[in-house]
Amino acid sequence: MTTVLIKNVTIIDPESPFHNQKVDLKIQDGKFIEIGNNLSKDNDTTEINIPDLHASQGWFDTSVSFGEPGYEDRETIANGLKTAALSGFTGVALQPNSHPVIDNQALVKFVLDKAQDQATSLYPIGSLTINSEGTDLAELYDMKNAGAIAFGDYQKAIQNANVQKIALQYVQDFDSLVISFCQDNSVKGKGIVHEGVTSTKLGLKGIPALAEALHVARNLYLLEYTGGKMHIPTISTQESVQLIKEAKAKGLNISCSVAVHNLIHNDMVLDNFDSRYKVLPPLRDEATRKVLIEAVLDGTIDCITSDHNPLDIEHKKLEFDLAKDGTIGLESAFGALLSILPLEVVISKLTAGKKVFGLSQHTINTDNKAEISLFTTVENWNFEKENILSKSKNSAFLGQKMKGRSIGIYNNGKPEINFSI
């Protein structure tokens, strides 16, 4: 493998002896072989020297959708992983919402085979139930052995409490994690946006915060009864924050994430009925957005996800109530977050998912595996269509003010760098 020399890079890694220092990183055969100042290079060395360059441990996104197999028109695994790499992510957890749904070991192996030889590592999430229908548990143990890192039905809450209970009990036999999207469908009804002033003004059916909180409370009671590990993805309400905070104080093995768009936007962006902002859970009011940010800062929310969900124009550019829920978010995640949160908090929340999902973490130090994200921190810019790397263009961040940029990554023995920035 080619030697890579990254010059004048500021390290953001509290676990590294080089934290907050500007150094050179020399990488060979996928490992740091030398870290210091004024490191020399030979003719076989690839040099990376970019102003204001920073490096951290590799970022991990706990929720991405790529479409393949079945929805390759939305996104392929190959292009999705390249997009993730240039967006700064060395690893992504792939949701099972393809066609067919990833609910057996053959499909886990299929997506892992498709992800070979990429700089960004792919970690499949297996569907918790067959075809994500919420009725019968899928082949969880077989999928675990094939490489699945956790089990959950993407954006589908298990309405049957006994199925949820049995899942939490069963996966303890092989030390796995249940992902529990929380939404009481009977309370949600036909709601499509947050229930509040904006939904009333626009005449759109609302989703009460209660629909999420009720399910969070139920699932936490089940977790307390069964033991095991549970991750609640993309929480969006003040009540959920409080319930999870109390569960952690009790000592339950519970973690949670929030989506970037729920930290950046509130439901007032819906005034023009733009379906790019139709997401699930929905964008909430400003008071809730501020509570979510506070929960990130105080540690109640463990990690932040892009919840990247590419959708084709036929399913997204429709009347608001007919459009599918979802936005792409990999490309915009870092720049959007740095515009509202301190740098070290952003890095902490983009790397914390590895611990939640039981994956190896690699400190920036000599002789360690080189798995790093590269980024700048000072540039202010607006996210536009030409910044989208995904096949689908359904971004809720077009026109959004950004701070700093992802430059790329080094992982799996290779750099993936956007030198055009």
Q: State the fold for domain 59-356.
A: TIM Barrel (3.20.20)
Domain ranges of the chain: 3-55+365-417, 59-356
Q: Which of 137, 142, 165, 172 is nearest to 152 (CA)?
A: 137
pLDDT band for position 42 (cuts 50, 70, 90) = confident
The reported pLDDT for the residue numbered 348 is 98
Catalytic residue among 113, 298, 307, 321: 307
| Mean pLDDT across 168-196 | 98
User: Is 80 exceeded by the pLDDT of residue 420?
Assistant: no
- Tens digits of residue pLDDT in 212-255: 999 999 999 999 999 999 999 999 999 999 999 999 999 999 99
Tell me, yes or no, if 136 is annotated catalytic. Answer: no
Give 174's DSSP letter. Answer: G
Structure confidence by residue, pLDDT tens digits, 57-66 = 999 999 999 9
Residue carrying structure tokens 């439901």: 267
Q: Do domains 3-55+365-417 and 59-356 have the same CATH topology?
A: no
pLDDT above 80: residue 162: yes
Is pLDDT at 1 greater than 70 in this prediction? no
Residue with tokens 């920073």: 54
Cβ atoms of residues 397 and 387 within 8 Å: no
Rg value, the chain, Cα: 21
Mean pLDDT check: name the lowest of 16-25, 41-50, 216-225: 41-50
Tokens in use for 138? 């899928």
Helix (H) or strand (E) holding 121: strand 121-126
Q: Is the pLDDT of residue 421 over 90?
A: no
Q: Could you tell me what percent of the chain has a pLDDT over 90?
A: 97
Topology, domain 3-55+365-417: Urease, subunit C; domain 1 (2.30.40)
